[in-house]
Amino acid sequence: MLEVVGNDYQDAFPVIFGQASKCMCLAFGVDVKEVDPSNHSYVLVTVLGLTCGGMPSGEQGMPKIGLLVLLLGVILLKGDCVPEEEVWEVLGVM
């Protein structure tokens, strides 16, 4: 991951990554777990017992997991860095 982060931010990356992980856990109910320390591979794990739609079974509301997957997909397709305007453009199409 550090290859994607600019040299100016490499020292701050662990803090930024940790904060982003906490925010993803709070907002989307997923935790970031490192699966291979030598390759720095990570996986997203649900922590709230959510269904595929992103809601506990039987509850009504906005599915968050689908939104997360959409945003992560946009980031991946755009080369790991997306201006905020492009994110809003994609969200506006929904």
Listed by start position, the domains of the chain span 1-48, 52-94
Give the mean pLDDT of 1-18: 78
Which residue would you say has higher pLDDT here, 85 or 27?
Answer: 85
Check residue 11 and give its pLDDT: 84
Structure-model confidence comparison of residues 77 and 1, the more confident one: 77
| pLDDT 10s digits, 16-32 | 888 888 888 887 778 88
When pLDDT is averaged across residues 3-22 and rounded to a whole number, the result is 81
pLDDT-derived band of residue 55, with 50, 70 and 90 as boundaries?
Answer: low
Q: Tell me how far apart the alpha carbons of residues 88 and 11 are, in angstroms, rounded to a whole number.
A: 29
CA 15-13-22 angle, to 5 degrees, is: 40
Assigned CATH for 1-48: 1.10.10.1200
